[in-house]
Structure 1
Amino acid sequence: MAVPKRKMSRSNTRARRSQWKTTATALTTCPQCKANKQPHMACPTCGVYNNRTYAAAVRTEHEVG
């Protein structure tokens, strides 16, 4: 296993880590309730995916009761 011979400086470490970027999550609209949701996942608002309702997908924040 390769081991570095010298300690990497802070500037080199930070310069390397500056390239680690994230991308924003893609969002689509739910055909049922028109809320934003991630593609290929059940809607967090109404719990519908592919014309099926999944009760486990409904979050507790959205339940009224």
Structure 2
Amino acid sequence: MAVPKRKTSKARRDRRRANWKLEAPGFVSCPQCHEPKMPHHVCPECGYYNGKEVVAAAE
């Protein structure tokens, strides 16, 4: 069984874990109502997707 020859220092251990970040989701503005929405999703505000009304907007 493989056993580490030296203790991994806190700096080396933490440097390895430094890239585990959360990223904010990428938002785009809706071409119809200009509200932020997720890309490739129906706009929750106006109900449009790809220039067509897909869902009736809840008012």
Work out whether the TM-score is over 0.5. Answer: yes
Give identity over the alignment, percent. Answer: 43
Q: Which residue of structure 2 lines up, in the alignment, with residue 28 of structure 1?
A: 28
Q: CA offset at residue 52 of structure 1?
A: 1.4
Matching residue's letter, 2:21: K
The gaps in structure 1 that reach 5 residues or longer are 1-15
Task: Spell out structure 1 runs of 4+ moving beyond 2 A.
Answer: 16-21
More helix by share: 1
Q: Which residue of structure 2 lines up, in the alignment, with residue 49 of structure 1?
A: 49
The gaps in structure 2 that reach 5 residues or longer are 1-15
TM-score (norm 2): 0.59
Query: Radius of gyration: which is bigger?
Result: 2
How many residue pairs were aligned?
Answer: 55
